[in-house]
């Protein structure tokens, strides 16, 4: 037999659940899309999950976004010193990004071996 306190708690929980349904968050009732989660290497999933929950992009993704912005800017600039400066900045960023991705790849391989 349930105690009055347990019945009250159950009623409050049910009431709360009914109110939550009314809120209707984006994706409510839809299956979770975990393809992106499982596409990430297992060694990085928890870290990526924490960053995503905090609304922060990994540094490599930030660098990719910055490179895309520089490419767009470069396409709009006429020939001249400014264009050459942006081109040099883009090349430097792309080299740094390539090195960072290569380091990550090597670390993942090393972690998989050990």
Which pTM does this prediction carry? 0.59
The tens digit of pLDDT for each residue in 57-96 reads 888 889 999 999 999 999 999 999 999 999 999 999 999 9
Give 34's DSSP letter: -
Give the domain extent around 99.
4-113
CA distances from 40 to 3, 68, 69, 85 (A): 48, 22, 25, 35
Overall domain count for the chain: 1
Contacts of 96 (CB under 8 A, 6+ apart): 63
The tens digit of pLDDT for each residue in 48-66 reads 888 888 989 888 889 999 9
The tens digit of pLDDT for each residue in 9-30 reads 999 888 887 776 556 667 777 8
């Amino acid at each position: 037999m349930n105690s009055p306190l347990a019945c009250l708690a159950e009623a409050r929980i049910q009431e709360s659940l009914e109110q939550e349904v009314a809120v209707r968050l984006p994706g409510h009732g839809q299956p979770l899309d975990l393809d992106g989660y499982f596409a990430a290497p297992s060694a990085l999933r928890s870290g990526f999950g924490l960053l995503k929950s905090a609304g922060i992009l990994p540094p490599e993704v930030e660098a990719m976004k910055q490179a895309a912005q520089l490419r767009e800017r470069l396409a709009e600039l006429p020939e001249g010193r400014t264009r050459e400066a942006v081109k040099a900045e883009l090349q430097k960023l792309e080299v740094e990004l390539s090195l960072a991705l290569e380091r990550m790849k090597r670390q993942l391989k090393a972690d998989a071996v050990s």
